[in-house]
Amino acid sequence: MKRLFGTSGIRGLITEKMSPENCVKFGLTLASLLNNEGTVVVGYDHRPQAIIVKNALISGLMAGGIDVIDVGIVPTPAILYYVKESSPKTAVAVTGSHTLPEIIGILFFNKDTSEFSDPIEEKFEEIYFKEKYKRVPWNRLGRVRSEQILDVYKEKVLALIDESKVSGRKVVVDPGNGVSSMILGNILRDASVNVLAINDFMDPYFRGRDPFPRVDNLNELGKMVKCWSADLGVGVDGDGDRALFSDELGNVYWGDITGAIFAESSVKMGGKKVVVTINTSHVVSFAVARAGGEVIYSKVGPPAIADTMKKHNAAFGIEESGKYLWSDAIYYGDAALATLRMLEILDREGMTLSELARSYPKFYMEKIAIKCGEKDKSRVMEEASNKFREMFSSEIKDIITIDGIKIILKDGSGILFRPSGTEPVFRVFAESREEKKAKELIRLGSDLVNEVLRSS
């Protein structure tokens, strides 16, 4: 069990895990991981504590002999397009992403724009906790220089789309006062898209709305789309990688539905393999199968999605929270690219977003998180899933044991038992074509987990 890293990077409070003292050591650790040579690109978000973490991290990197390119306050995907096209082999984003304003984190990326995988993270933790990092003498210290990269970001995104298919469309953008404020709208405008923006200025306290875009906090976005007769709306997280969409009628969708649209389009365009996380709705599998593609399951989190995409040469990957990864772009989410590619799909299909969404069957999903200590998680997963399998032994179609245990029944419904990788909770997901059955399954799953916990 990793002690620093969760499903995506290292995250915490500036007074605890992300203290300046620890962040200097994180920099020294990364320097040692890179054999105390080379250059690292560092960008950060607009949270007050981000600059403290960034400066401490850079101090550690330089003390370890690493040169640094400081690209300033930018969306995380902007950092990745830059590192992909430049000489540095590693990039770091200091960001709280979608989390509460008091949280800050560090995301570590490879040259190919994927996040560090488990083996690299485990090596990082070994160096950090055993204090095996190295400092270099005064005449070998790293240097730091600044670089402006937003023009590179815009150029790389626009090069990936056909502007003739998006020109003249109308989009409402809601960056949520995150670091994509102004930038997202300007990229769309440069593609000749008409833009109306709300919450479009950076506010480190996110007083416009929660930095985590969700169906329940994007109501204003949906209303603006309908009032303006826009083609769609997009709500973005704090650092510009997640995107949830509103259709022209004002309906806001979770990432499963729009992920299904992207996935089916990817298969139609020749990318036959699609990677989905274990907790993704079956609607994506339906969409991929309808287009003649193949679904490959991965663990939860962008590092696992990217690794699985590379391993299987998949063109597209999805995380149901609103992250969409294309192998021809970066191995990470990018709200700007996702918005433009959704507009391209509307043009190719000759349909509205609501019409595309209605072409998929309705799946009902229920989720619950139950308090569970670290020492109990493995036992709970094994015993609760075994009890469920005994109860439904004649109805089971498939069992997937990637990042939890997912049991799919013959009628297409299913349940996932999964311990959280970042919190002291155990998660249960249930899904069915029938709302009543989804509720029955989540209630049963919850009862089974609690029964195991009581027996400890």
Tokens for 21? 């003292």
CB burial readout 334-364, b (16+ within 10 A) else e: bbbbbbbbbbbbbeebeeebeebbeebeebb
- pTM here is 0.93
359 phi and psi angles, rounded to 5 deg: -75, -5
8 A C-beta contact, residue 217 and residue 246 = no
d(CA 183, CA 177): 11
8 A C-beta contact, residue 322 and residue 243 = yes
Superfamily for the 364-454 domain: Alpha-D-phosphohexomutase, C-terminal domain (3.30.310.50)
Topology of domain 10-148 in CATH is Alpha-D-Glucose-1,6-Bisphosphate; Chain A, domain 3 (3.40.120)
Q: The domain at 160-358 falls in which architecture?
A: 3-Layer(aba) Sandwich (3.40)
Q: Which amino acid is at 412?
A: G
> 10-148 and 160-358 share one CATH topology?
yes
Structural domain spans, the chain: 10-148, 160-358, 364-454
226: enclosing H helix or E strand:
helix 219-228
8 A C-beta contact, residue 22 and residue 114 = no
Per-residue pLDDT of the chain (456 residues; tens, 9 = 90+): 788 998 889 999 999 999 999 999 999 999 999 999 999 999 999 999 999 999 999 999 999 999 999 999 999 999 999 999 999 989 999 999 999 999 999 999 999 999 999 999 999 999 999 999 999 999 999 999 999 999 999 999 999 999 999 999 999 999 999 999 999 999 999 999 999 999 999 999 999 999 999 999 999 999 999 999 999 999 999 999 999 999 999 999 999 999 999 999 999 999 999 999 998 999 999 999 999 999 999 998 899 999 999 999 999 999 988 999 999 999 999 999 999 999 999 999 999 999 999 999 999 999 999 999 889 999 999 999 999 999 999 999 999 998 899 999 999 899 999 998 667 889 999 999 999 999 999 999 999 999 999 987
d(CA 264, CA 252): 19
- Residue 285 annotated to the active site: no
Q: Which of 8, 32, 59, 97 is catalytic?
A: 97
With H, G, I as helix, E, B as strand and everything else as coil, classify residue 326.
Answer: strand
Name every residue whose Cβ is closer than 8 Å to that of residue 172 and which is 6 or more positions away in sequence: 195, 196, 197, 198, 221, 224, 225, 228, 230, 232, 233, 234, 246
d(CA 451, CA 456): 9
Burial (CB count within 10 angstroms: exposed 0-12, middle 13-18, buried 19+), residue 233: buried
